[in-house]
Chain A
Amino acid sequence: MRIFASLRIAGRALRRNKMRSLLTMLGIIIGVGAVIGAVSLTSGATKQVEDQVSSLGENVITVFSGNFTSGGMRGGWGSAPTLTVEDALAIRALPNVIAISPEVRDRAQVLANGLNWNTQVMGESPDYPQIRNWDMASGTMFSDQEVRSLAKSAVIGKTVVDQLFPNENPVGETIRIRNLPFQVVGVLAAKGFNLFGQDQDDIVVVPYTSHMHRITTRTFVNSIQVQAANDKVIAQVQQEITDLLLTRHHSKEQDFTVRSQLELMQTVTATSRAMGFLLAGVAAVSLVVGGIGIMNIMLVSVTERTREIGIRMAVGARAADILVQFLIEAVTLSAIGGAIGIAGGVGFSTAVAYFKDMPTVTPVAWIIIAFVSSAIIGIISGFYPAWKASKLDPIDALHYE
């Protein structure tokens, strides 16, 4: 089959009726454009959420102590005195655990420079920045040595810096936590708000030993942050931690909770998958509508050009030549429509990203899907009109008025 010649004939036929061709394509253009635009926006949003989830740290498992009930008042997760530093060290010894941090939390008034600020004071191990995937903006994290020596060293978050050291470098300066002087050894990089809207930078981190023995007097930790070697062993490590702690606590009831970031991630992916199905549905509907438009116009075109078909048959066009010609016309219409739609969708999402400052991502897979499906729609909707044209009788077609 002389595809190239057919393409030229099709191109000429479409150019002959520019306005109509454009209007016919509009269905596909809008359909594909809307889908690409929507996919870009939701993919951007999904990616943002995923980034936030991974900002919680990589392959992180958190062990919370159980709920403490005293006189009918239940203290919530982390209130029961069940987890100890020894538990944390035992977990560290498990295979596939690469870092741990026993965590104690308290809110406290912090003073410096004649300013004061109420913030979250966390006792952590030196591995904390690694577990949370958190860089240092300046200075260093305190060391294991400083943990052992109950050092009065502190690492502070961006918000605390802004509140207490508005115009100076805090590293080396002294802050007072519950009137105890701590030396600032490092500043954490800004991390922003987390998924739940909490300011992650409003934080002071001190060695957990200093927190438990100097700021407060505790023998138990609120939780233990654990980092697994990779995402494939997370479930296994969770189970091992559960078994280990059950043995260590000699209790029949589980007085702690083991949570992983994987669960949160699964929720996010489930949401984006649901969104994907919804979009695919919308895409299918709009492409079908666009396809009906193409079929409609192709039928009109076949009727209008009956005489042309007759002439072509008289000079030797076979039925297959006529079929291919009209099929190519339909596919050209839908493919060009699809291409314009893709360009429009990408343009729209780029504009949104630029003017609205929203992240947008256009997945290449969707561009390919959109283009291929608009071409397929062209074949499907063009086939019936093309078949009808090819079945015309040359004599009738020649004398059609």
Chain B
Amino acid sequence: MQTHPVIKLTDIQKVYHTGEVDVHAVRGISLEIFPGEFVAIMGSSGSGKSTLMNMIGALDRPSGGRYLLDCIDVSTLDRDALADVRNEKIGFVFQGFNLLSRTTALENVEMPMLYNRQRIHSHEQRERAMHSLELVGLGGRADHHPNQLSGGQQQRVAIARALVNQPSLLLADEPTGNLDSQTSIEIMGVFQKLNDQGITIVMVTHELDVARFTKRMVILRDGKILTDEAVQNRSVAEQELQRLRQEQQAVKLAP
């Protein structure tokens, strides 16, 4: 590929100093992710995937190595600069949705724009938030509060929020962890659709079923990359959904 990688990790290390023992959570990971990729980072708990995720998300700095995000060296930035990077370059989707309660879907989606370094006019904020909600198919629920929405809908609002600042990277941490299987497939469908439109997505998960919707699977073990390969027999959300519906139909028809 001719383009620059969105993410370029070079020998990334992370050491936690807890008491007298140093914990090496990540021990030298090198990885390149290019625009338009859809990557699943997998691994059991303790494999270092959450730590890696935090560093990719500019929530944490590596103890060693270099991290280039969109050609910016994130590993040397201070707190405020990291906040700006998160604001402009990264969209987060969390397992627990992490929406603000008693705040409408629209206002939740508008929130990242409040922290933009450039002032965004309030009507432009509205427009962009509405557009974002329409992208995830929730244009009609803009004035609903999170507690009036289903889990899948809440996660869509979170995705809309992640997209609103047009980030270089969509980062999802166990996005289907709190959802039932059908809703999970629907959310993966949203991701696949966004990826088809050219959005780069990195997703952390421990479910193989979910990872099969992505294009590339990186498996970690003990803070190192175990395997890194393209997904064979990739699941397509629409087909999976159709299959699921047929199965449900069959159960209903059975005497």
Contact = CB atoms under 8 A, between A and B. Distances in A.
A307 B99 CA distance: 10
Interface residues of B, number: 26
B100 A311 contact: yes
Interface string B102-138: 1100000001101110010000000000000000000
A321 B113 CA distance: 13
Interface core residue of A316, A317, A318, A395 (most chain B CB under 10 Å): A316
A312 B111 CA distance: 8
Contacts of A312: 111, 115
Interface core residue of A2, A5, A315, A318 (most chain B CB under 10 Å): A315
A314 B171 CA distance: 11
A359 B207 CA distance: 79
A314 B57 contact: yes
Interface in A10-35: 12, 16
B100 A317 contact: no
Contact of A321 (B94, B98, B99, B115): B115
A5 B114 contact: yes
B98 A398 contact: yes
Contact of B115 (A308, A315, A395, A398): A315
A319 B88 CA distance: 16
A316 B86 contact: yes
Contacts of B86: 313-316
B114 A394 contact: no
A9 interface: yes
A180 B80 CA distance: 100
B124 to A, nearest CB: 13
Contacts of A310: 98
B25 to A, nearest CB: 12
Interface in B46-84: 54, 57, 59-60, 79-80, 83-84
A321 B87 CA distance: 13
Given A9-B114, A321-B115, A395-B54, A313 B83 contact: yes
A314 B92 contact: yes
Contacts of B94: 398
Interface in A309-348: 310-321
Contacts of B102: 16
B161 interface: yes
B54 A315 contact: no
Interface core residue of A319, A320, A394 (most chain B CB under 10 Å): A394
A317 B102 CA distance: 20
Contacts of B165: 316
Given A312-B115, A394-B59, A395-B59, A317 B98 contact: no
B165 to A, nearest CB: 8
Interface core residue of B80, B88, B100, B114 (most chain A CB under 10 Å): B114
Contacts of A317: 83, 87, 114-115
Nearest to B162: A315
Interface core residue of A2, A12, A311, A398 (most chain B CB under 10 Å): A311
Contacts of A313: 83, 86
Contact of A314 (B59, B99, B103): B59
A241 B161 CA distance: 88
Interface core residue of B57, B83, B100, B116 (most chain A CB under 10 Å): B83
Contacts of B111: 311-312, 315
A12 B88 CA distance: 25
A395 B114 contact: no
Interface string A269-307: 000000000000000000000000000000000000001
A317 B103 CA distance: 18
Contacts of B92: 314-315
B98 A318 contact: no
Given A2-B114, A2-B119, A316 B88 contact: yes
Contacts of B99: 311
Interface string B166-186: 000000000000000000000
B145 to A, nearest CB: 11
Contact of B87 (A12, A315, A394): A315
B162 to A, nearest CB: 8
Nearest to A310: B98
Contacts of A9: 114
Contacts of B98: 307, 310-311, 314, 398
A10 to B, nearest CB: 12
A318 B80 CA distance: 5
A320 B115 CA distance: 11
Contacts of B103: 12
A313 B116 CA distance: 12
B83 A308 contact: no
Contacts of B54: 395
A307 B146 CA distance: 15
A308 B87 contact: no
Nearest to B158: A311
A318 B116 CA distance: 10
A316 B60 contact: no
Interface in B23-53: none
22 contacts: A16-B102, A307-B98, A310-B98, A311-B98, A312-B115, A315-B86, A315-B92, A315-B111, A315-B112, A315-B115, A316-B83, A316-B84, A316-B86, A316-B88, A317-B115, A318-B84, A318-B115, A319-B80, A394-B59, A395-B54, A398-B59, A398-B94
Interface of B: 54, 57, 59-60, 79-80, 83-84, 86-88, 92, 94, 98-100, 102-103, 111-112, 114-116, 119, 161, 165
Given A318-B115, A321-B115, 8 more contacts: A5-B114, A311-B98, A312-B115, A313-B86, A314-B98, A318-B79, A320-B80, A394-B59
Q: Which 10 pairs across A and B sit closest by C-beta, in order of nearness?
A: A316-B87, A315-B112, A316-B115, A318-B83, A5-B114, A317-B115, A316-B86, A311-B98, A318-B80, A394-B59
